[in-house]
Amino acid sequence: MPDINIKLPDGGEKRAPEGATVLDVATAIGPRLAQAALAGRIDGELVDVDTVVTDGATVEVITDRAPEALHILRHSAAHVMAEAIKTLYPEANFGVGPAIEDGFYYDFCIDKSLVPEDLAAIEERMEQIIAEERHFERGELTKLEAWDVFEGDPFKQELIDEIPEGETISIYSEGAFTDLCRGPHIPHTGHIGAFKLMKLAGAYWRGDSTRPMLQRIYGTAWFTQKELDAYLERLDQAEKRDHRKLGKELDLFSLHEEAGAGLPIYHPKGARVLRIIEEWLREELYRRGYEEVITPHIYKADVWKTSGHWDNYREHMYFFQVDEGEGKVNDYGIKPMNCPGHIMVFQNDVRSYRDLPMRLFEFGTVYRHELSGVVHGLMRARGFTQDDAHIFCTPEQVHAEVVAMLDLVEYVNGVFGFEYTAEVSTKPEKSMGSEEMWDLATKSLMGALDARDMPYEINEGEGAFYGPKIDINLRDAIGRTWQTATIQVDFNLPERFDITYRTAENTEARPFTLHRTILGSMERFLGILIEHYAGAFPVWLAPVQTVIIPIADRHLEHAESVRERLEAAGARVEVYAQNEPMRVKIAKAQEQKVPYMLVLGDKEAEADVVAVRERTEGDIGQMSLEEFLGKLAE
């Protein structure tokens, strides 16, 4: 049998007999690699380990260290769960069962409505299937053959109907379960080291509320029990840090069904935290050459027609009509974005290249029609405020402006203690603007990241149709990532609103427009901060920095004197004047996660000092008020 030539990812080459599989290639490289092989990649396409390689192909062996490995494992775990359901409930019909972030799910229809207690029997059956190390067998069928295989399963047959005629359909089988599937899968079920079924839910078939409601089971799967335990611990931490729970306990905000989904109401403490952040960032932006604007919450529909939102974003907006008198009625739209107002500021005068760059910012409240199913506390709201800015500049200024924005990103995230990563999304298949503009904009974004020594990933073709962008992803205290800052080049709005500036040669030119947010949605960022700090804000950000705890009523006068002096120095203070034991007041301050407690008794009143407790260290001794203010200032 003649040999074929195989290329390896490191540039090396390997000879293999004709008909060799990915697993054969792994074996030729080394027995340990063969034992660890979960899947393969042939010329960039993920495949099963028993896929035959062709002469000249580039072959990569996928092990549990590969980024794709967990996705493949979880996809396979979804099939194992489906087989367990099928054996327990033979009448089951199945929808779809993909791998998702941190796990998998499967939708199915059975006569019985499952309850959480039923998950234990499904898990037990899954454990048996995993212990048997059943192989995932791939097959290929014609459309007619596939229709026969899935006779009696209307959901699968609907999917088959949509496959173009003549296209080969792949299926995977293990044990009693067969599924439409592109693959790949792990070689056998035994590679699933640890799993857990997490919860039950309902899901409309294909997300359509007019279609049948299916049952859905969510699960997670990992290569080792240690990884599963660590994940469950992160979930436990996430539950304890849930901003909705802490927001209520710390009296920061509330959500009211009668007010509407996704419309948070801030209480004094929550409003204070938001204003502290805004005021701090506002001063920083002024220092960096930005100018603040305030724009309306509503515009005539004509504005949204010009911007393109009327045609392309209308389902996410709120529109209403206004009777202007004399029988004239106009459509108005509540703004989902702040861009048009900033462009109108630019349009309001003749601009020269000497006016550029023009940096306009706004803490602008916007409203978007999010589906009720995706609204989630502060993390995804229908009404939220963006720390929005638009920079109008010449093509030559783009690089320097993006570098300056990245410097701001670094400074802001450093203050809050976040680590972060960057992604660059490039030109999609459908786009506007010339190749030259895209090339300049994309190189400017990447060049700015390089200039700041900021590593980044490239998302090929994932930019918006109107320009490339940088997304910043934060990592919080328990390892979760959150997308916050965005730096976006926009070729669309300058064209639609026909904005220009006079060049040095006295000709008209179109400015580059850079959208940018640093925190993103203020609501979402507050939610992230609450969970990141577990509600224990740093001193500078705490809505109440200090509580004063008089031991007895006779100490109230001195407590008020201390409060006045602290507030005069800019501290945020409360006096716990209630007729309660000191230990109760201390426990209350601890529950409210107040950074400092000042206990005042006879000795403190006589010497005009304070006994200081810190929320994590406990008692840290007596000190004068001046000493304590110095500690706060640190």
Instruction: Catalytic residue, from 109, 181, 339, 393: name it.
Output: 339
State the Cα–Cα distance between residues 371 and 442, nearest whole angstrom: 33
Instruction: Catalytic residue, from 386, 397, 488, 592: name it.
Output: 386
Nearest Cα residue to 26 out of 3, 50, 10: 50
CA 507 to each of CA 243, 351, 502, 503, 513: distance values in angstroms, whole numbers, following the listed order? 53, 12, 5, 5, 19
Instruction: Catalytic residue, from 342, 359, 515, 516: name it.
Output: 515
Three-state SS at 591: helix
Radius of gyration of the chain (CA): 30
**Cβ neighbours for 491, distance < 8 A, ≥ 6 positions apart:** 432, 433, 437, 441, 466, 467
Q: Which long-range contacts (CB under 8 A, 24 or more apart) does 122-128 make?
A: 122/81, 122/84, 122/85, 122/88, 122/197, 122/217, 123/84, 123/195, 123/196, 123/197, 125/84, 125/87, 125/88, 126/77, 126/80, 126/81, 126/84, 126/195, 126/197
291: left (phi over 0), alpha (psi -120 to 50) or beta: beta
Instruction: Catalytic residue, from 74, 469, 516, 555: name it.
Output: 469
Q: Is 191 annotated in the active site?
A: no
Cβ–Cβ < 8 Å for 105, 219 = yes
Q: Is 555 annotated in the active site?
A: no
Cβ–Cβ < 8 Å for 256, 243 = no
State the Cα–Cα distance between residues 350 and 501, nearest whole angstrom: 7
* Strands 419-425 and 456-459, bridge-based pairing: parallel
**Cβ neighbours for 253, distance < 8 A, ≥ 6 positions apart:** 247, 264, 265, 266, 267, 270, 378
Which tokens sit at 301? 């529909």
Instruction: Catalytic residue, from 86, 138, 390, 558: name it.
Output: 390
Instruction: Catalytic residue, from 388, 471, 476, 490: name it.
Output: 388
Q: Is 342 annotated in the active site?
A: no
CA 171 to each of CA 19, 62, 100, 205, 256: distance values in angstroms, whole numbers, following the listed order? 22, 21, 20, 21, 48
State the Cα–Cα distance between residues 316 and 309, nearest whole angstrom: 9
Q: Is 515 annotated in the active site?
A: yes
Q: Is 297 annotated in the active site?
A: no
State the Cα–Cα distance between residues 343 and 358, nearest whole angstrom: 11
DSSP code string of 473-493:
EEE-TTS-EEEEEEEEEESHH
Q: How many helices (H) and strands (E) does the chain have?
A: 20, 33
Cβ–Cβ < 8 Å for 421, 482 = no
Would you please indicate which residues are annotated as catalytic (active-site) residues?
339, 368, 386, 388, 390, 469, 515
